[in-house]
Amino acid sequence: MKEKLAKLAHEQWSGWMKYLFSKCVTKEGELVIPQWAVERWSKQARTHYEALSKEEKDSDRTEADKFIAVFKEHIEQLQAEIERLKDIMFSFGTIYEDDLPELTNEQFAIACYCSKVDGVRLYPKIIIQALTNMKGK
């Protein structure tokens, strides 16, 4: 995710630089930012977001949406991995709530990662076995 965000940040900076250079004029072999642009961008830089015009805010929101898309993609990948791991964990079997061995409060808190099926809590057998093997350690 860090690389995707860094790439996006670079693309945004690069896009801004291309836009800036396209507005500059060449004088004696140097790029000069026109006075109108200096005044406009200086004013925008001094303005708090809340005081921006609707159009300026919309432009910033468009850029924010690009970051949100990266975050959403990452969240979806994490959710898929969680589901994959849950499937593996529950593939070792389950234990009904009424059949739980005696556990300490700390162990029970760990075991509470469960799934309700038809209103009955099922606990991953592999977790319960690991916890009961830890008793007294």
pLDDT tens across the length of the chain (137 residues): 899 999 999 999 999 999 999 999 999 999 999 999 999 999 999 999 999 999 999 999 999 999 999 999 999 999 888 788 777 777 777 777 677 777 777 776 666 656 555 566 667 777 777 777 765 54
Compute CA 38 distance to the chain's CA centroid, rounded to the nearest angstrom: 35
- Phi/psi at 15 (nearest 5 deg)? -65, -40
Count other C-beta atoms under 10 Å from residue 123's C-beta: 23
Angular region, 117: left φ>0, alpha ψ -120 to 50, beta rest: beta
What pLDDT shows up at residue 8?
Answer: 95
Asked if 122 and 89 count as a contact pair (C-beta separation under 8 A), the reply is: no
Asked if 86 and 122 count as a contact pair (C-beta separation under 8 A), the reply is: no
Domain range summary for the chain, segments of one domain joined by +: 1-91, 93-137
How many Å apart are CA 20 and CA 10, to the nearest integer? 15
For the purposes of burial, counting CB atoms within 10 Å of the CB of 28, is it exposed (0-12), middle (13-18) or buried (19 or more)? exposed
What pLDDT shows up at residue 116?
Answer: 55
User: Which residues pair with residue 26 across a beta bridge?
Assistant: 31
How many Å apart are CA 14 and CA 63, to the nearest integer? 13
- pTM for the full predicted model: 0.62
What pLDDT shows up at residue 126?
Answer: 73
What pLDDT shows up at residue 134?
Answer: 67
Residues in the chain: 137
What pLDDT shows up at residue 61?
Answer: 96
What pLDDT shows up at residue 84?
Answer: 83
What pLDDT shows up at residue 129?
Answer: 76
Q: What sign does the dihedral 34-35-37-42 (CA atoms) show?
A: positive
